[in-house]
């Protein structure tokens, strides 16, 4: 029937209108700004930079790779790489941004920077009361204003943060296992080298002990002459001369 959908919609609106006087959950609006609705996990407004631990600068995940800067459609991210490196969560030295600015008056909240970041270091925030009277000062957020802890990220996006934390903990376990295996291999190689060196020294000592013709050992004594046991031969007898008898 023509217009049936419109009639159904109006009936539902009427039921909610009358019902909201008796059941508060039928209210579809709230008294803003006195009241705020809790945002859903997928809600997004502007990006922020995630850091681990307590120190926002030491724990900053961003490596200043500039992928997000390149991919941002309205080009509202500005990054300058620092010349000094710092250790990442695995202990490897990583680059860090000296400058990381986002012009939130230009940002359209698309979330592409989050999608392309290989280090889980930029995430979308859910704050929305960001109006200001200074177009060029207040709207350009610097690194210190953009950093937020991983705990905060866990509060606004619990599911995502849990998955990322598990993956990073797995990385840490793998890195520790590799470091232990490398240390064991080094210790084994050092032990083999020491044993080979000891065997070489023993071989040299043994060869020097071997008698060489014409050489005299320091503590060798001349062997005593053996006593002769041969019987002396008898003296040859004189030939007898016949006497001349007349």
Which position among 51, 94, 113, 147 is part of the footprint of ligand SF4 (CB under 6 A)?
Answer: 113
Nearer to ligand SF4, 121 or 150 (CB): 121
* Token pair for 6: 């419109």
Contacts of 147 (CB under 8 A, 6+ apart): 48, 49, 50, 51, 56, 57, 60
Euclidean distance between CA atoms 45 and 159, whole angstroms? 18
Q: C-beta of 46: minimal distance to ligand SF4 in Å?
A: 7
Which position among 11, 18, 42, 108 is part of the footprint of ligand SF4 (CB under 6 A)?
Answer: 108
Euclidean distance between CA atoms 118 and 68, whole angstroms? 10
Euclidean distance between CA atoms 214 and 151, whole angstroms? 85
Task: Give the total residue count for the chain.
Answer: 246
Q: C-beta of 130: minimal distance to ligand SF4 in Å?
A: 13
Span of 26-34, 56-64, 159-167, 173-181 interacting with ligand SF4 by CB under 6 A: 56-64
Q: C-beta of 105: minimal distance to ligand SF4 in Å?
A: 11
Question: Does 64 help bind ligand SF4 (rule: CB under 6 A)?
Answer: yes
Nearer to ligand SF4, 163 or 196 (CB): 163
Q: C-beta of 149: minimal distance to ligand SF4 in Å?
A: 16
Token pair 């909201």: residue:
20
Which position among 51, 52, 63, 125 is part of the footprint of ligand SF4 (CB under 6 A)?
Answer: 63
Which position among 79, 146, 147, 164 is part of the footprint of ligand SF4 (CB under 6 A)?
Answer: 79
Cα 8 from chain centroid (whole Å): 59
Q: C-beta of 85: minimal distance to ligand SF4 in Å?
A: 14
- Pick the closest to residue 98 from 51, 46, 144 (CA basis): 144
Euclidean distance between CA atoms 187 and 185, whole angstroms? 5
Nearer to ligand SF4, 82 or 176 (CB): 82
Question: Does 109 help bind ligand SF4 (rule: CB under 6 A)?
Answer: yes
Euclidean distance between CA atoms 97 and 84, whole angstroms? 9
Which position among 51, 52, 101, 117 is part of the footprint of ligand SF4 (CB under 6 A)?
Answer: 117
Alpha-helical regions (H) of 20-156: 67-71, 112-116, 143-146, 150-156
Contact indicator for 122, 47 with CB cutoff of 8 Å = yes
Question: Does 138 help bind ligand SF4 (rule: CB under 6 A)?
Answer: no
Question: Does 65 help bind ligand SF4 (rule: CB under 6 A)?
Answer: yes
Largest CA distance in the chain: 195
Question: Does 119 help bind ligand SF4 (rule: CB under 6 A)?
Answer: yes
Question: Does 102 help bind ligand SF4 (rule: CB under 6 A)?
Answer: yes
By CB under 6 A, name the binding residues for ligand SF4. Answer: 47, 62-68, 72-74, 76-77, 79, 102, 107-113, 116-117, 119, 121-122
């Amino acid at each position: 029937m023509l217009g049936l959908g419109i009639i159904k919609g109006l009936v539902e609106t009427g039921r909610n209108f009358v019902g909201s006087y008796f059941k508060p959950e039928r209210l579809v609006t709230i008294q803003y700004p006195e009241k705020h609705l809790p945002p859903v996990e997928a809600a997004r407004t502007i990006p922020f930079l995630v850091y681990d631990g307590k120190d926002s600068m030491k724990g900053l995940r961003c490596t200043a790779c500039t992928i997000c800067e390149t991919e941002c459609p309205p080009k509202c991210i500005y990054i300058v790489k620092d010349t000094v490196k710092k250790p990442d969560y695995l202990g490897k030295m990583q680059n860090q941004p000296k400058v990381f600015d986002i012009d939130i008056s230009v940002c359209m909240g698309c979330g592409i920077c989050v999608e392309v970041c290989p280090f889980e270091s930029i995430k979308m925030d859910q704050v929305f009361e960001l109006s200001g009277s200074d177009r060029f000062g207040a709207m350009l957020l610097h690194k210190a204003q953009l950093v937020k802890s991983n705990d905060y990220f866990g509060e606004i996006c619990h599911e995502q943060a849990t998955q990322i934390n598990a993956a990073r903990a797995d990385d840490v376990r793998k890195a520790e296992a590799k470091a232990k295996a490398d240390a064991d291999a080094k210790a084994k190689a050092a032990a083999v080298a020491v044993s080979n060196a000891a065997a070489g020294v023993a071989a040299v000592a043994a060869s020097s002990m071997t008698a060489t013709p014409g050489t005299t050992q320091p503590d060798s004594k001349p062997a005593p002459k053996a006593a002769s046991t041969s019987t002396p031969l008898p003296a040859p007898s004189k030939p007898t001369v016949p006497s001349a008898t007349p």
